[in-house]
Structure 1
Amino acid sequence: MAADPLPETVAVPDSVQYRDITIDIGAGVGMEPVFPSSKRYGPTGWPLIALQYLRLPYFGEVVTEDKKLAAFSLFPSINFVGERKEDDANYLEGIGDTDFAFELGAGAAFRYGFLRAFGAVRYGVTGHNGIVGEAGVDVILQPMERLEVAFGPRISAANGEYMDYYFSVPNSAVVLQPYEANGGFKDVGIAATASYALTEKWRVHGRLKYTHFIGEALDSPIVDAGNDQEFSVGIGLTYRFTLDLY
């Protein structure tokens, strides 16, 4: 998933007393804008990976989700951004195409009681080759034994290369006025996630997110002509692996 850590519905250490690592792996599908600020939505898919528990020699438990204590966790952050073609909208004529982007990075989260704060940074391996970071705070509730719900605010920022790739308008543009986007805050929003434990190993996850562009992105003629607000929704399934490493 892009940045948000997966919810955990079962306290990991109780079920992995003799294991060294616990990791959830799966995939999700959903609907989101086909490119940033697009009015058109399309299907998307992404991997779901979350490191839930890790014990290292000499260090002991370095990643834990023991809900009786303050909990620290690590997670990979992966995101896909669809390609943008000039013929996707008439106002894009002359600004050039953008390629499909695969963003890869990592994040960390700290949970204390029903609150969790997290941050993640990703690099564009393909496409924009820029850097984008996201952060958020969640309120975590467990209305049922197998169900956990988390919701809270989000904010993201990106460097100049990312912002220029998606939000700058060159002099060759036919419809839009030229514009040069610099690095800075990109958007704010709110997200909600839910996780339900079907069994001890299998979990289903749902996600809903609202985003509003800010700063240099909001001032872009591309966003002005497109959409300054975005929604995304998705559902996924993960399987929990527990392994002995040492």
Structure 2
Amino acid sequence: MASSLFGRSAAFLVLAAAWATGATAQEQPRRTRVALGPQLVPRYPGADGHVVRPFLDFSRVSGDTPFPFEAADESSSISIVNSNGFAFGPALSFEGSRRTRDIPGLPRVGFTVEVGGFAQYTASAVPIRGRVELRQGIGGHKGLIGMAGVDYIARERDEWLFSIGPRVTFSNGKYQRAYFGVPLDAVAGSGLPGFRPSGGIHAVGVNAGFLKQLSRNWGITTYAKYDRLIDDAGDSPVVRRFGDRNQLSGGVALSYTFFGRAN
């Protein structure tokens, strides 16, 4: 969904700074990779229009350790615990606003900060990673949203990487009513029938990404994602009249790797 994609682009600046500060206190990483480019994402969850937003990424590693795999649709996060393939930590994302002119007659949904956490497991015997996120909206939709996904990862260290895997997005009633509901007091103004969705899975889809190192310093990374709104979200009169059950996203970024010295 757009929330994860937009959130990764904006929230990475906050968590990357915290990560960099913590890493420097222990050692000076030898390699830092920064990627920047455009991405096309739905204007808001359930929209049929798209907007261009920044596609950003930041990774740091020591020595010759390959850069860790990160899917383009996951939130910005820091691993507080990382042991035997398991990782846990905080996650941060942002969701842009839905304006009143986007859906005439329905309440505006303001800008949302989504704060939560993640848990993931990377298998050692097979190139598979599973990840679950759960985030609470502060302001804006004020709801609870989460994502579960599994990625198959094929790579040649940092020379190239391809990933693909299914996604399930779920949310509580407050989130779904913000984007997919029609309050009774808005029926006359919007011309839509009243609709009060409940919580549960609201989208299923797939995400694919590809990264290629072009030279010692320069590289390119791309991704494409498809989500299908289902259940209450898919049946919402807001989506059927003004939006689209099919949610497409994609982006491309140019990366540059800086080389430093270890302490």
Identity of matched residues, %: 27
Q: Alignment partner for residue 152 of structure 1, among 157, 165, 187?
A: 165
Give the 5 Å matches for 1:1-246. 2=4, 27-45=36-54, 47-49=56-58, 63=82, 71-74=85-88, 77-88=91-102, 92-112=103-123, 113-142=126-155, 146-171=159-184, 172-173=186-187, 174-198=190-214, 204-225=220-241, 226-236=243-253
Displacement, 1:229? 0.6
How far apart in 2 are the matches of 1:72 and 1:52?
18
**Alpha carbons of structure 1 residues 157 and 97: separation in structure 2 relative to 1, 3 Å:** same
Three-state SS of the structure 1 residue aligned to 2:4 is coil
Structure 2: gaps of 5 or more residues:
9-25, 63-79
Read off the aligned partner of 1:114 and give its amino acid letter.
Answer: P
**Letter in structure 1 aligned against 2:47:** S
- 1:218 is paired with a residue of what secondary structure? helix
- The answer to whether the Cα contact below 8 Å between 1:74 and 1:108 also exists between their aligned partners in 2 is yes
Matches of 1:40 and 1:222 in 2, distance apart? 14
Structure 1, gaps ≥5 residues long: 6-17, 54-60, 65-69
Aligned mates of 2:60, 2:4 — CA distance in 1:
15
Aligned amino acid, residue 223 of structure 1: V
Across the two proteins, how many residue pairs are aligned to each other?
A: 219
Change beyond 3 A, Cα 1:41–1:63:
same
- CA deviations on 1:80-114 (whole Å, 9 max, x unpaired) are 333222322xxx32212111223233323222221
Q: Distance in 2 between matches of 1:243 and 1:124?
A: 38
Distance 1:124-1:25 versus aligned 2 partners, 3 A rule? farther
Shift of 1:129: 1.9
The amino acid of 1:32's aligned partner reads V
Distance change (3 Å), C-alpha of 1:29 and 1:227: same
* Native 8 Å contact 1:34 1:81 kept in 2: no
Q: TM-score scaled to structure 2, two decimals?
A: 0.68
Q: Is the 8 A contact 2:55 2:251 kept in 1?
A: no
Contact kept? 2:183, 2:195, Cα under 8 Å? yes
Residues of 1 paired with 2:91 and 2:257: CA distance?
A: 18
- Describe the shift of the 1:134–1:202 C-alpha distance in structure 2 as closer, same or farther (beyond 3 A): farther
Let me know the Cα RMSD of the aligned residues.
3.6
Q: Deviations over 1:107-153 (max 9, x none)?
A: 23222221111111222233112111101111111268600101011
More strand by share: 1
- The question of whether the paired residues in 1 share the 8 Å contact of 2:81 and 2:88 is answered with no
Tell me the TM-score normalized by structure 1: 0.73
**Is contact 2:55–2:252 with CA below 8 Å preserved after alignment?**
no
Which moves more between the two structures, 202-211 or 126-135? 202-211
Question: Is the helix fraction higher in 1 or 2?
Answer: 2
User: C-alpha separation between the residues in 1 aligned to 2:119 and 2:104?
Assistant: 40
More off after superposition, 205-214 vs 134-143: 134-143
Q: Which amino acid aligns with 2:149?
A: G
